[in-house]
Each structure stands twice: as structure tokens, then as C-alpha cells.
Amino acid sequence: MNRSLLMLALVAALGLSACERQPTVVTVPTPVAEPGPAGPQGEPGVQGNTGNTGQTGAQGERGPPGGRGERGKTARGAKPAIPALEPR
């Protein structure tokens, strides 16, 4: 009987240790910060200084006066007028 009690205790200890439960993981949600009401508007900024302007360019020379054209001929190099676009 001594041996049967010893064997029973050994089997019970092995059986209980084999049934180890896994720990339950509980995830706690992190609190989300909610924005509060908008604060008062700040003062407007000061306008900056205007930068330096460049110097004006030199006046160019005048070209030669044009000659009188012949009647009924188009001057060489003249481009035809672009017709105005009409709205649809």
C-alpha cells in the first residue's frame, strides 16, 4: 500500500503539472486625446521691407524709317492676323 500511495501521488503531481494554463493577455486600449476648442486668433504680423529695384535699361537707337510699299502687295515677312476665337 505504501507503494500505491506513492505512485498515486507521483501520477497526480505529473498530471497537475502537465495541465499548466496559458496566461490570458488582456490588451487595454490607450486613451485618445480629443482636441479642445480653438483658442483666440493671434495678432497679424508686420509687413517686411520692399527689396531693391533694378536700374532702368538704356534707351535703344531708333531704326531707319520704312519705305512706301507697292499697292496690292503684302510686305515681306508680315504674318497674317490671327482670327479671334468665338465662344462656344
Q: What is the pLDDT of residues 34-47, one digit of tens each?
A: 888 888 888 888 88
The better pLDDT of the pair 26, 74 is held by 26
Place of cell 486668433: 41
Distance of alpha carbon 64 from alpha carbon 61, whole angstroms: 10
Give the mean pLDDT of 37-62. 85
The better pLDDT of the pair 87, 45 is held by 45
Q: What is the per-residue pLDDT for 1?
A: 64
Give the mean pLDDT of 52-77. 76
Q: Is 18 helix (H, G, I), strand (E, B) or coil?
A: helix
Q: What is the per-residue pLDDT for 9?
A: 85
Please give the backbone phi and psi of residue 16, each rounded to the nearest 5 degrees, phi first. -70, -35
User: What's this model's pTM, rounded to 2 decimal places?
Assistant: 0.23
Q: What is the pLDDT of residues 3-33, one digit of tens each?
A: 788 888 888 887 777 666 777 888 888 888 8
